[in-house]
Structures are given as C-alpha cells and as structure tokens.
Structure 1
Amino acid sequence: MADFPLAPGSTIGILGGGQLGRMLAQAATRLGFDVAVLERDADSPAGRVATHCIVGAYGDTAALEQLARLAAVVTYEFENVPAQAVTTLQALGVECAPGPEALAVAQDRVAEKQFLNASGVATVAFASADSAAEAVAEATAMGAPLLMKTRREGYDGKGQRWVEHAADAAAAFTELGGVPVILEAPADFVRELSVIAARGRDGSTAIYPLAENHHEHGILRRTLAPANVTPNVAFEAEKIAARVLKGLNYVGVIGIEFFEMRDGRLLVNEFAPRVHNSGHWTQDGCAVDQFEQQIRAVAGWPLGPTQPHARVEMLNLLGDEADTWRKLAGEPDSRIHLYGKRDAKPGRKMGHVNKVKAL
C-alpha cells in the first residue's frame, strides 16, 4: 500500500478514458503526478494526455496487473466500473478511491435510495420490480404517472421510460430490456440543483456552492453557478452532502443532484461517485476546481478552497456545436474546454464552454 500523502512524481491510475478522465489527468499532471489510464480505446481522450495508456477491458486481469504495478492509487471517471475490477486491484495491493462501498451503492438505483433514506435523506417514493407482472403491480399500488428506470447503468436519459398508466408498465419493462427496474414517483419540483462535495483521507470536507441545472432530453444542457438560493437551502444541501460522504466512508469528489420542491425542501434525485458534469463551472469559477480537488483527495493532500471568484454559465457543446470553437474562442468572457473526441455524433458531449462574469 502507498504512503499518503503521495509525493509529486507518484503515479495515479484512472479507470476510464473519456472526458472526465482527460480532465482528471490534466489536473494530476499540473500537480506533478504521472497518470496511467486504463481504457478499451487506444485513442481515448484521456489516454492521449496521460503518461501511460493501458489498452484493455476493465475486467482484464493482465491490464489491471499492469495498472497495479504503475499506480500508487486508482480512481475512476464513471461509476459503472465492474466491482470485480476494484476487488482485483485491492487484492494486488492498490487502494481505490472512492472505495467499493460507494461504488456498490451508486451502481444500483434501489440500493442508492435505500442508503439515502437510511441516512435520513429524503427522496421521491420508489419501488423495485424484477418482472413485468411486478412492475404492473407496483405501478398500480404507487399510482401513475411514474418514471421507470433500469436499476443498473443508464445515463443522460438512457435506460428510463415514463409510465402514464399502470397497465403500460409491462410494455415499459420489456422496452427497457426485461431487467430489474426501479419505479419512481414524479417530483413536483421548482428546479434542479446540484452540489459538488469532497471528502479527504482525514475526514475533512470541502463543499462548493449549489448550481442550478437545466436538462434537455435527459442531457444536462446548462448550469448556472453559484445558484441563487436562500441560506436555508444552501445549509440543507451542505448537511445532506456531509451525511452522504460520511455514510459512504468516502474519499474523493461526489456530485449530488437535488429536486428543489415548491415548499423549499430538497429531495435527492441521485448521486455520482465521481467528478460531475454540473461541476465543470468550477474550472473557471474557483481557485481549485473539482478535478484538482479529486486528485488532492485521493492523493491524501489537503483539500482546496471552494469559494467562487466568478459567476459562471456552463454550456455543454453537443455534436457539431463544438465546431463553433472559433467563435467561442474569440469571446472575451468564454473559456472553452474541448475533449478531443474524434466523432461529433448528435447529442454526444464534445466539450463545454464556461461563460464567466464577475460576482
């Protein structure tokens, strides 16, 4: 096992080679670390900026052994890393952060909501179903309309269906692949908010201001931060974040999504045990952004400050919108971040732009 805090020159491993892995690698190299990325694609965005790029599946034992030889600690850019990969790395003497507890909870939407409720954190009402008949029975008991999601995987609006009538639940279950699902009651919310929070190896926490999010077709389109919220809402979000971090024995950055209800309450929609799209505003709005914060946390360094020095509007660049880079690069208040992806497919996140204004 590595000695913490890690000294500059140590190697940090990252499972996943997409844009989040790329920005994590860039933050790590800025702090003097080397980076080893494990990714199936030899031409991945993160792999092209890393010191070492190991090409292989996340469950490939030989690839994991190579990563273990290089890395003092391993983190990941997305939550659907096979649990066996983390177990294998730990058996090889490499610590993974965040740990397996957070990964196991976040990979199962029912387990996630059960953990939140057991921690005293409110969510929408929910039920689980393992068959079409169970889905109809639960939908009848809960009352429609409701949202059906696969218990595992699914992101950016994928893996979910609205069920307008209980009788439609069987068809929706089949459309989602006939796999176990969660049924969620709709939330009569005013807006969607999120918080980026971090917990260090010493149990210290650092929490960024709330952000306001706007989605289109299940994909985050726009984030405004810091969000205009009351002190009570901000305090409640911080309290929830602290409970979640402690309950998971967490090390690293987490993104927690909320529904702000009409009566001022916050319901947690879901959390992601990693850096989060709604935290990209911190790159140009804070002295220490969420990516550097993640590297600091997993390396055992002191957590950095989270106070904003600017107001930021973050816009995701989808598909060929990234082709507007010339215009965006010429705007004095715009900070453009492109991910180095080769193919600009419709709806694919190709980059983002932070429009910065004085507080």
Structure 2
Amino acid sequence: MRIPPGSTIGIIGGGQLGRMLAGAAAELGYKCHVLAPDADPPAADVAAHCTRADYADCDALGRFADAVDVATYEFENLPADALARLGAKLRPGVASLEIAQDRAVEKDFIERTGGRVARWARVDSDDDARAAEAALGLPLVLKGRRLGYDGKGQAWAREAGSAVAAWNAIGREPAVAEAGIAFEAEFSIILARAADGATAVWDVPLNLHAEGILRRSQLPAPALVEAQADEAIATATALAAALGHVGVLTVEFFACADGPIVNEIAPRVHNSGHWTIEGAVTSQFEQHIRAICGLPLGSTRRIAPAVTMDNLIGDDVLGWEKIAADPEAKLHLYGKGAPRPGRKMGHVTRLG
C-alpha cells in the first residue's frame, strides 16, 4: 500500500535516529508524529506532533495509531506486545523487533537462515556459565540477552574459572556466552527492503570501535572486507526476507579469515549508515521512509571516492565550532543538551 506525501508518519522513539528520519520524511512532503516518554526528545524538535507517553501505554499507543498513516521505530528495545496493537501500520513489524531483542533468539534465527555466528551457548545459571567455558574455551564474552547496546551488559572471561565472575559482572541476567573469535575488521551491511521484496544495498563501510562504541565508519573498506561483501549481502538479504522486513535493516559482521561472521542485527537505520546522508544518492533515512511508505527505492550509489563519518562522543561535541569552520566537514548535532561520557552527541562526515 502506498502512503502518499502529505500523510503522517509515526516514529516510536525520540532520539537522533528519529530526528534524522523526521528530517528525511519532511523533504519528501510527510509530517511526523513522535511518540516517546522523554520530556524533551531530540526528534520532537523536527516533528509536527509529539506524544509523550510510555512505550507500553496501550491507550496512548491506540491514540497514536489513530493519528498516523504508517508507523516505524528508531530503536529495538521496545515492548513488542504493546506495539502489536498498531497492526499492519507498523513497518517493520513486530517480528523484526522480537528477533533483535533477544540475543539467543537472534542467534538461533541467524543460524536457521544460513548465516554464521560465533560459537555460543545460553547462560541462565552458574552451571551454565561453567559449561559454556568448558565447551567454548577461552576467551569468552558474556552478553545479556536483552537491552544491551554500545558494549553495555558485556563482560569477558579470560582466565580459567572466570566465566561465573563474568556472569556476575553483568548482573546474573539471562545471557549468551560467545567464544572469542579472531577477526581482521568489523563492517556492516545496510540494506533496505520494500514490501514487494525489492532490495537495495549501500557500499560496505569499515567500522572502527573504541570501548564498545562506534567511533568511525569509512569507505572504501579494505580489501578483505570487500572480498567478503557479496557473501555478507546474501546473508543480510536472506535474513530480511525471512523476517518479511520492510525498511532498513543493518547486519553487523566480523571479517574473519574463513569468511564473514554475523555479530548482530539491528532492524532499523544505523549509526554506521550516517555517511549515506552526504555520501550516497539516497540516504538510509530517506530510503527507510520510501520503503515504509511504499515508494520506489532510491539509488544507493556512493557519490564520492572516499567517505569518513566520525561520531562526536561526550565532550567531542565541544569542538563543534572548529568543525563548523572546516569547509570540508558536514556537521550534524543532535540537540541533546549537556554532553555525558559515552553519549552520542552528533557526527561529522567528510567526503573525498
């Protein structure tokens, strides 16, 4: 079903991804209505309407559903059962949410769909942690099954007998244990899928992290990543099809000597795709709007021989004046107020 310009798009979540989605929607002639519990969500600055309510408030969700023509979400830590009341208006649907919200469910799904993940095991007890260490070896990383992002909710076991301590460090919540893997690089496949199954994929960025947070995405990627791109794209395409996903889907990979291994799925626009705003004919944000509204997908062609996107984390943003004075830099600030350590305050993109 095509949602024509002039219609209202609901965005569940009020952060920077919602802000950039609303900006892209406005350029195509749509209005946006943000739903978020925050007092002053950044996305509300550029939206026509904002409902401030808890994501699990079914009455508020019902009113929100009545007020919009189509709805989407900007992050995945949301109550899927409550969002299900949006029905067919929600794109992507709750299936993509439910898979991405639980690392164990996600890994099962990836393997069933033919993708490869690091060797892993569920951990729900001290005995499970010990068994995982015995079966998978060391080093081993324990990750909470739900609500983790930017390296949060993770702890490493590197010494014999330390798996239980690692599980304690993440709060003894239901977890997965993953065998440490040797990888040469990290990269992501950013894919858009339309309701009719048509797909479009951007060039593959190399992703550089520090302390679990993405610091830089750059193109072109090194030769090893480029050599593994086709296999990774095939995996991401299969995952999107199995989900019946509509919109942008991001799959993060490790480039290993024997081929790409999936790290995790994000059923949405993604930090590693911010370079597409200036670096591609169609940004990931515009493409997501096109997909959920039933418009034809745009070209993903890269328009510069090289593109670098750097996140502004915490106090990095205090250098905004210097960045703004650089004629080769494109500065994006998210309107988040005071910086905090580890908080994504903006990003800067450079072409060429």
* TM-score where L is the length of structure 2: 0.97
| Pairing partner for 1:273 from 258, 267, 270 | 267
Which amino acid letter does the alignment assign opposite residue 87 of structure 1? A
For the residue of structure 2 that corresponds to 1:210, the secondary structure is: coil
Question: What SS is found at the alignment partner of 1:254?
Answer: strand
What is the deviation of 1:166? 4.7
2:44 to 41, 44, 47: 47
2 CA distance for matches of 1:176 and 1:258?
24
- Partner residue, 1:354: 349
Q: Does the aligned pair in 2 maintain the 1:225–1:281 contact within 8 Å?
A: no
Report matched runs for 1:54-69 at 5 Å: 54-69=51-66
- Determine which of 313, 316, 333 is the counterpart of 1:318: 313
The answer on whether the counterparts of 2:140 and 2:163 sit within 8 Å (CA) in structure 1 is: no
Q: Secondary structure at the match of 1:46?
A: helix
Deviation at residue 198 of structure 1 after TM alignment: 0.6
Structure 2 counterpart of 1:179? 173
SS at match of 1:189: coil
SS of equivalent to 1:117: helix
- Name the aligned partner's letter for residue 14 of structure 2: G
* Alignment map for 1:251-262 (pairs within 5 Å): 251-262=246-257
2:322 corresponds in structure 1 to: 327
Query: Root-mean-square deviation (CA), in Å?
Result: 1.2
Listed one character per residue, the Cα deviations across residues 120-140 of structure 1 (whole Å, up to 9, x for unaligned) are 111110000111221112212
Aligned counterparts, 1:199-218, within 5 A: 199-218=193-212
Report the residue type matching 2:50 in the other structure. Answer: C
CA distance in 1, matches of 2:36, 2:223: 39
What is the identity, as a one-letter code, of the residue corresponding to 2:321?
R
Measured in 2, the distance between the counterparts of 1:25 and 1:226 equals 28
Residue segments in structure 2 that go unaligned for 5+ positions in a row: none
Q: 1:237 deviation in Å?
A: 2.0
**Cα distance, 1:74 vs structure 2:** 0.9
Shift of 1:73: 1.2
Alignment of structure 1 residues 8-19 onto 2, 5 Å: 8-19=5-16
8 Å Cα contact 1:12-1:35 kept in structure 2 = yes
Q: Is the 2:187–2:254 Cα contact (8 Å) retained in structure 1?
A: yes
Tell me what 1:141 maps to: 135
Quote the residue 1:157 is aligned against.
Answer: 151
Report the identity percentage: 48
- The residue identity in structure 2 corresponding to 1:195 is I
Secondary structure class of the residue paired with 2:184: strand
**Residue 163 of structure 1 contacts residue 172 of structure 1 at CA under 8 Å; is this kept in 2?**
yes
Given candidates 81, 102, 120, the residue that maps to 2:114 is 120
Match of 2:278 among 284, 302, 308: 284
Question: C-alpha deviations, 1:62-100, integer Å up to 9, x for none?
Answer: 22122111111110000111112221222xxx5211111
In 1, Cα distance between equivalents of 2:130 and 2:212: 24
2:99 corresponds to which residue?
Answer: 105
Contact 2:107–2:117 (8 Å) recurs in 1:
yes
The whole-number CA distance in structure 2 between the counterparts of 1:295 and 1:85 is: 23
2:207 and 2:17 mapped to 1: Cα distance?
Answer: 18
Mapped to 1, the partners of 2:119 and 2:299 lie a distance apart of 36
Amino acid at match of 2:106: E
The residue aligned with 1:70 is: 67
- Is the 1:226–1:308 contact (alpha carbons within 8 Å) kept by the matching residues of 2? no
- Picking from 323, 339, 343, the partner of 1:344 is 339
- Secondary structure at the residue paired with 1:350? strand
2:174 maps to a residue whose letter is: P
Aligned residue in 2 for 1:226: 220
Number of equivalent positions: 350
Instruction: Name stretches of at least 5 consecutive residues in structure 1 with no aligned partner.
Output: none
Matched residues in 1 for 2:136 and 2:181: separation?
Answer: 13
Deviation at 1:282, TM superposition (A): 0.4
Partner of 1:247: 242
Q: 1:139 aligns to what SS in structure 2?
A: helix
Q: Is the 8 A contact 1:145 1:166 kept in 2?
A: no
C-alpha distance in 1, partners of 2:153/2:61? 29
1:123 is paired with a residue whose SS is: coil
